[in-house]
Amino acid sequence: MKIIFAAPKLPGRGAVAVGVMAGTTLSPSAANLDKATGGALGRAIKGSRFTGKKGQLLEVLGPPGVGVSRILLAGLGKPGELEDVDLENLGGSIMAQLQASGAREVAIMVDAIGQFRRKAPQRAARYGFGALLRSYRFDKYRTKEKPENKPSLAKVTVMVQNPAAARRAFDDLEKIAEGVFFTRDLVSEPANVIYPKSLAREARKLGKLGVKVQVLGTAEMRRLGMGALLGVAQGSDNDPQLVIMRWDGAPKGRGAKGRTRRGPIAFVGKGVTFDTGGISIKPAAHMEDMKWDMGGAGVVIGLMRALAGRKARVNAVGVCGLVENMPSAKAQRPGDIVTSASGQTIEVINTDAEGRLVLADALWYVQEKFKPRAIIDLATLTGAIIVALGHDHAGLFSNDDRLAERLTAAGKAVGEPIWRMPLGESYDKNIDSDAADMKNVGARGGGAITAAQFLQRFVDKGMPWAHLDIAGVTWESKAKPTAPKGGTGFGVRLLDRLVADHYEG
Ligand code: BES
Ligand code: MN
Ligand code: ZN
């Protein structure tokens, strides 16, 4: 989708979108159009339930007296209350309304009036960002889609005074969108296309942007003693991979004045390219969803792309454990005891609780090699988090209140909300084993929490750590304003924001 910024001018064709405030107060652009159309907008509003409430849309087709084919009235609510994410949502809703409408282009008019919290160029950039995010489609395998069902919209022009400033504000957002799209592509690809080696190959492409990418195979992981990750992988003909991505964007030379340089911020992703459950095999219904069980790794890879794309002034490392969880004659069995790289032993009660086994060794690796200042892991880890929070919040677990608060605030700011869940000794006891240091499942209740407790056993004392269980938010069966149904890329914008707000220097 082409997103362009230009000086305001009423277009002679296509669609035009204009703002209307609460109580149906027309923005200057809307008022001009109302006049040019002999009051068609006022009449349309009168004949409808459109009030100008935030997010409302009213489409006026074939307006008289102007060249455009349709006018889209967009409810702004009370301008002083509009957040960036509201503007993005509005841009996304305009995209959704027009994408397959027959309109080929739309001009979004952004008025330079003072009641908003942000200046017009900043607002323009947010409209463009939201429209771009919603325009995403994963349609590469649809060879027979009828032309009349394909998107018609090809171009969005956001019209604003000082379009150059809007374009500048959009530059970073466009890079973030590229990261989100990369993640969406990776989770949407089926497991015969994306398996550990091909996913590692995708990650390697970040080398072009200046990310240093290293990939470990089975032999190297065996040398490191990664028995937990390798145990999951052993049932598959697809060899596991550990992908390590480094973006060193922090200004050099800092810390020279006696201050010891702090380690990178670390992101760790669960990359189970397909989760059959292994010998503890899953039921057939919806098993196809398990192609996106590499969603955590997908976010880490997309995030690294966003950070490198916008040249974030941060040192960040991403580590993804990539495996396929299959049943076979070589697969690990319930009751097997594996030794993780940390030295801790694990009794594998259920081979379907595999994500935590993969993360255990990935968490050890990132701490051993990078001494990070903080770790955030992402994983489609449990069905239990969906029972607890549904599809609207990701689950947050953390040993560090400040990190948890920062993540929560970042999620709120970008419209990727997360909800903090408890950790504690009484939950931790649940995964004590009689045969080994721990077992990989707890009691029936609190399944997302015991999974997090398991991960915490692999986090060094004093290391700020947060775990995001994204099982409920990685894939959506209903569209959201800035995400069509399917892979969401949830987490890329949140973590990019966290980095921008707290870790760039
Ligand atoms: N990948 C699944 C979790 C999952 C379920 C993600 C549904 C997305 C949608 C994970 O590996 C798993 O199978 N977890 C089990 C754990 C159980 C065996 C303790 C679960 O949640 O049922
Ligand atoms: Mn599983
Ligand atoms: Zn899984």
Domain harbouring 456, CATH code = 3.40.630.10
Distance 102 CA to ligand 1 centre (A): 42
Query: What is the H or E stretch that residue 379 is in?
Result: strand 374-379
Q: What are the φ/ψ torsions at residue 245 (nearest 5 degrees)?
A: -120, 130
Of 136, 162, 188, the domain-final residue: 162
Same domain for 255 and 400, yes or no, is yes
pLDDT of residue 505: 84
pLDDT of residue 411: 98
Residue 96 has which token pair?
């959704």
Candidates 366, 378, 348, 319; CA nearest to 227 is 348
Ligand 1 mutation target, pool 352, 476, 490, most atoms within 8 A of CB: 352
Its domain, for residue 111, covers 2-162
CA distances from 135 to 65, 106, 124, 190, 277 (A): 30, 13, 17, 21, 34
Same domain for 100 and 183, yes or no, is no
pLDDT of residue 253: 72
Distance 351 CA to ligand 1 centre (A): 10
**Distant-in-sequence, close-in-space partners of 433: CB < 8 Å, separation ≥ 6:** 346, 347, 439
Q: Which residues line ligand 1 (CB under 6 A)?
A: 275, 289, 293, 350, 352-355, 380, 382-384, 441, 447, 471
Which ligand neighbours the alpha carbon of 349 most closely? Answer: 1
Distance 387 CA to ligand 1 centre (A): 11
Ligand 1 mutation target, pool 323, 381, 382, most atoms within 8 A of CB: 382
Q: Using CA positions, which residue lies closest to atom 14 of ligand 1? A: 382
Of 140, 162, 184, the domain-final residue: 162
pTM above 0.95, yes or no: yes
Domain harbouring 64, CATH code = 3.40.220.10
Candidates 401, 423, 503, 504; CA nearest to 469 is 423
Residue linked to tokens 């994963």: 138
pLDDT of residue 359: 99
Burial readout 29-59 (b: 16 or more C-beta within 10 A, e: otherwise): bbbbbbebbeebbbebbeeeebebbbebbbb
From CA 505, how far away is CA 499, in angstroms rounded? 10
Beta bridge partners of 396: 420, 468
The answer to whether 438 touches 457, Cβ cutoff 8 Å, is yes
Q: Using CA positions, which residue lies closest to atom 13 of ligand 1? A: 352
Residue 100 carries which DSSP code? T
If phi > 0 it is left, if psi is from -120 to 50 it is alpha, else beta; for residue 102 that is: left
Residue linked to tokens 């497991």: 191
Assigned domain for 198 exists: yes
Assigned domain for 239 exists: yes
Helices (H), 294-432: 295-309, 355-370, 384-389, 401-414, 425-429
- Cα-trace Rg, the chain: 25
Assigned domain for 233 exists: yes
Same domain for 181 and 209, yes or no, is yes
Distance 295 CA to ligand 3 centre (A): 10
Measured on CA atoms in the order 369, 205, 192, 282, is the torsion positive or negative? Answer: positive
Active site residues: 282, 356
Assigned domain for 170 exists: no
Distance 379 CA to ligand 2 centre (A): 11
Same domain for 447 and 371, yes or no, is yes
Q: What is the pLDDT of residues 295-324, one digit of tens each?
A: 999 999 999 999 999 999 999 999 999 999
CA distances from 488 to 188, 282, 292, 302 (A): 9, 24, 11, 12
The answer to whether 435 touches 337, Cβ cutoff 8 Å, is yes
CA distances from 217 to 196, 226, 238, 318 (A): 10, 11, 11, 17
Of 130, 162, 194, the domain-final residue: 162
Residue 385 has which token pair?
């988090």
Same domain for 140 and 190, yes or no, is no
Assigned domain for 282 exists: yes
The answer to whether 19 touches 74, Cβ cutoff 8 Å, is yes
Beta bridge partners of 275: 325
Q: Using CA positions, which residue lies closest to atom 17 of ligand 1? A: 353
Candidates 325, 301, 317; CA nearest to 200 is 301
Q: Using CA positions, which residue lies closest to atom 5 of ligand 1? A: 383
Same domain for 147 and 185, yes or no, is no
Assigned domain for 135 exists: yes
Burial readout 232-249 (b: 16 or more C-beta within 10 A, e: otherwise): bbbbbebbbbbbbbbbeb
pLDDT of residue 259: 58
Candidates 392, 403, 419; CA nearest to 463 is 403
Candidates 269, 256, 245; CA nearest to 377 is 269
Same domain for 392 and 270, yes or no, is yes
The distance from CA 426 to its chain's CA centroid, rounded to whole angstroms, is 32
Assigned domain for 168 exists: no
Domain count, the chain: 2
Residue 175 has which token pair?
């890079």
Residue 3 has which token pair?
């997103």
pLDDT of residue 256: 52
The three-state secondary structure class of 267 is strand
Strand 57-61 to strand 70-77: parallel, antiparallel, or no bridges (unpaired)? antiparallel
Helices (H), 4-61: 28-36, 40-46
Average confidence (pLDDT) per 10 residues, the chain, 505 residues: 97 98 97 98 98 98 98 98 98 98 97 94 98 98 94 98 98 98 99 99 98 98 99 98 98 64 95 99 98 99 99 98 99 98 99 99 98 98 98 98 98 98 98 98 96 99 98 98 98 98 95
Atom index in ligand 1 nearest the CA of residue 272 equals 1
Candidates 88, 96, 94; CA nearest to 123 is 88
Same domain for 158 and 180, yes or no, is no
pLDDT of residue 244: 99
From CA 182, how far away is CA 218, in angstroms rounded? 26
Same domain for 402 and 268, yes or no, is yes
CA distances from 212 to 196, 269, 337, 409, 500 (A): 18, 17, 35, 30, 21
Assigned domain for 169 exists: no
Beta bridge partners of 214: 244
Same domain for 219 and 306, yes or no, is yes
Same domain for 277 and 388, yes or no, is yes
Same domain for 263 and 294, yes or no, is yes
From CA 8, how far away is CA 12, in angstroms rounded? 13
The answer to whether 306 touches 496, Cβ cutoff 8 Å, is yes
The answer to whether 304 touches 353, Cβ cutoff 8 Å, is no
pLDDT of residue 260: 62
Residue linked to tokens 């707290």: 502
